[in-house]
Structure 1
Amino acid sequence: ISRSQGPEISYAGASALVIGVDYENQESIRKVLDEYKIDTIISTLSGHGFITCQEILLRAGLSVPSFRRFVPSEFAIDSERVTPTVKLYQIKLPILASLRQVKQERPDTFEYSLINCGVFMNYLGFGNTKSEGHKAHGHLASFPYIFDLSKKTADIPGDGEKQIVYTRAEDVGKFTAAATQLETWEEHLDMAGDVLTMNEMVRLLEEIRGEKFSVKRNSREEILARMSSSDSEGFMQNFHEEFFLAFVDGCCDISRPINLNKLVDVKPITVRQYLEQWWG
């Protein structure tokens, strides 16, 4: 379902309808879920009305007999661990409270899971000049994050010894689809295409590109000094710096086993494989 009607999406010999709904109208959503006997809702909502629309989506599902599973819009780094530092991620918390309440009320008939994938590997494709280099982005917005291979620069939070989890967007889709076929869900389903320290990343990037990178390692004090004192000015800059702080403070550290890789038969691409494909 989408905010607007669209043509069928075709991929790998299969297709899916795109049905327009009003995300602020619970009945509009309920009718579609009921008509197609939907049992699993996977939310990828963002932007305007994020808190309200996810709640309405959940409530619409709960009024449909076939519905039994919900995935909130996470798909990055565990929001509960980073919200003390990353203010924007606080909007992800209300739906988690609602999901836990529903689970208490319906322990035998309802499941939810928070699916996390770390950083999208596709951001490493920014600036690729190959003839089909745009495909490196995997339909994501194109911008560099921490590492800019086109300029051979690395802007690293901390001393570089913190690990970073990477998963290619296309593999995130494969993992998520495979998770829907599991008989039972854990509260957290974590995936990874690769896990490296940022210093290991620098060495790998230099190997693939065949040149040294210009590397800046940012201390906690330097990150704090760059942050704006106003919430309205430099909002996105602060968001970027807050995530740097989260890395430095250990909020992005791997805190539990990466379980989804073991639960499903998906073989994700590694960072080395991705880099060799697009930058080798």
Structure 2
Amino acid sequence: MKSQRIAIAGGQGKIGKHIVEGLLGIKQLYSLEIIVLSRSESPDVSYAGSSAPVIAVDYNDQASLQEVLNRYKIDTIISTTSGFSPDPFISSQINLLQAALTVPTFRRFAPSEFTAAPSEQVADKVKLFQMKLPIIHSLRKAKQERPDSFEFSIINCGMFMNYLGYGNTKPDGHKAFGHLGAFPYIYDLSKHTADIPGDGEKQIMYTHADDVGKFVAAATQLDVWEEHFEMAGEVTTMNEILRMCEDVCGSKFDVKYNSREDVVARMSSAPEKAIENFFMENYLAIIDGDADLKRPLNLNELVDVKPMGVQEYLLRWWGN
């Protein structure tokens, strides 16, 4: 059955807000009821002439979570919670699922994934993604116990295309990032540089954050959820992305191709290097093939979303 009453956990965050906006964009078309779960009180989220109330919840209190989900008769939960600490990231999702399983209307859950590669594929390399595994294990257990009345999907979108907009000087250049943070990843068009893991021939998935919201919203209206949903605006090699960046900027980039040894040498056990290590761990996953696309882009085939490609994005924010 299609989703009708949807709760987005962490919907005021970065990718979470894009997903809320994607749902609000189709709210009236499908007569959806949408709520945003948050740790703090906030005004309603408004977009495209629709709005969703923000409900303050305590993720440590299953009884209060159950009360909210029951009150709004929620059938679908999309989690976009985030963090760099295992607790509360793990416990918040586990508590949310356990509370939801007691709600008669509840039948669908999407955990906080939305990564460059499925967390299960890269968890051996990317330590942060090990936090994402407990909820997946709990979801599989719930599915075994309720095979006819519960389904879940692990949703992946590749890298966010928006990071290619870092440093643009358009008058409305801040819009290039959407609700995401502004920083360069692999490519820095403002400096005409590229820091590429491996030889650049590995394929990567890129999706614009707005399109992630549209894909997820459209997925809620599918009759059946598959365990994995994969989406992308474009799948191409890092060297091809480099060529597009150089073309739109009109000059050659200063490019560093990083071997596995180069990446390992850049890593450090110092606490202040945690974020840099996270990126280097992703580099290793790319170099070693753990981040390779291993499943078809089924969500691209199942829903009617026409995503933005990399060249279109680059021309929008870097073209004359």
For the superposition of Structure 1 and Structure 2, which TM-score range results when normalised by the shorter chain? over 0.9
Residue 44 of structure 1 corresponds to which residue in structure 2? 80
- CA distance in 2 between partners of 1:249 and 1:108 (Å): 38
Q: Aligned to 2:44, what secondary structure does the other structure show? A: strand
1:248 aligns with 2:287: yes
- CA distance in 1 between partners of 2:238 and 2:300 (Å): 22
1:259 aligns with 2:298: yes
Residue 278 of structure 1 corresponds to which residue in structure 2? 317
* Cα displacement string for residues 6-38 of structure 1 (whole angstroms, at most 9, x for unaligned residues): 111111121111111111111121111111111
Q: What's the C-alpha RMSD, in Å, of the aligned pairs? A: 0.9
- CA distance in 1 between partners of 2:174 and 2:274 (Å): 28
Q: Which of these residues, 205, 216, 230, is aligned with residue 190 of structure 1? A: 230
Runs of at least 5 residues in structure 2 that lack an aligned partner in the other structure: 1-36
Structure 2 residue identity aligned to 1:62: L
- CA distance in 2 between partners of 1:63 and 1:277 (Å): 47
- CA distance in 2 between partners of 1:19 and 1:155 (Å): 42
- CA distance in 1 between partners of 2:286 and 2:38 (Å): 33
- Displacement of 1:232 in angstroms is 3.4
Moved over 3 A (4+): none
Q: Aligned to 1:94, what secondary structure does the other structure show? A: helix
Stretch deviating more after TM superposition (159-168 or 40-49): 40-49
Alignment of 1:145-224 (within 5 A): 145-224=185-264
> Normalised by the size of structure 1, how large is the TM-score?
0.98
- Displacement of 1:233 in angstroms is 5.1
- CA distance in 2 between partners of 1:19 and 1:180 (Å): 21
Residue 268 of structure 1 corresponds to which residue in structure 2? 307
- CA distance in 1 between partners of 2:214 and 2:41 (Å): 24
Q: Aligned to 2:225, what secondary structure does the other structure show? A: coil
Residue 273 of structure 2 corresponds to which residue in structure 1? 234
Runs of at least 5 residues in structure 1 that lack an aligned partner in the other structure: none
Residue 21 of structure 1 corresponds to which residue in structure 2? 57
- CA distance in 2 between partners of 1:55 and 1:123 (Å): 31
- CA distance in 1 between partners of 2:150 and 2:120 (Å): 21
Q: Aligned to 1:31, what secondary structure does the other structure show? A: helix
Q: Aligned to 2:224, what secondary structure does the other structure show? A: coil
Residue 170 of structure 2 corresponds to which residue in structure 1? 130
- Displacement of 1:45 in angstroms is 0.6
Residue 114 of structure 2 corresponds to which residue in structure 1? 75
Structure 2 residue identity aligned to 1:210: G
> Normalised by the size of structure 2, how large is the TM-score?
0.86
- CA distance in 1 between partners of 2:192 and 2:278 (Å): 23
- Displacement of 1:231 in angstroms is 6.3
Q: Aligned to 2:271, what secondary structure does the other structure show? A: coil
Residue 89 of structure 1 corresponds to which residue in structure 2? 129
- CA distance in 2 between partners of 1:248 and 1:274 (Å): 26
Aligned length: 279
Structure 2 residue identity aligned to 1:139: H
1:117 aligns with 2:153: no
- CA distance in 1 between partners of 2:270 and 2:232 (Å): 33
- CA distance in 1 between partners of 2:64 and 2:178 (Å): 31
Q: Aligned to 1:19, what secondary structure does the other structure show? A: strand
- Displacement of 1:4 in angstroms is 1.1
- Displacement of 1:58 in angstroms is 0.4
1:7 aligns with 2:47: no
Residue 33 of structure 1 corresponds to which residue in structure 2? 69
CA separation of 1:36 and 1:109: change in aligned 2, threshold 3 A: same
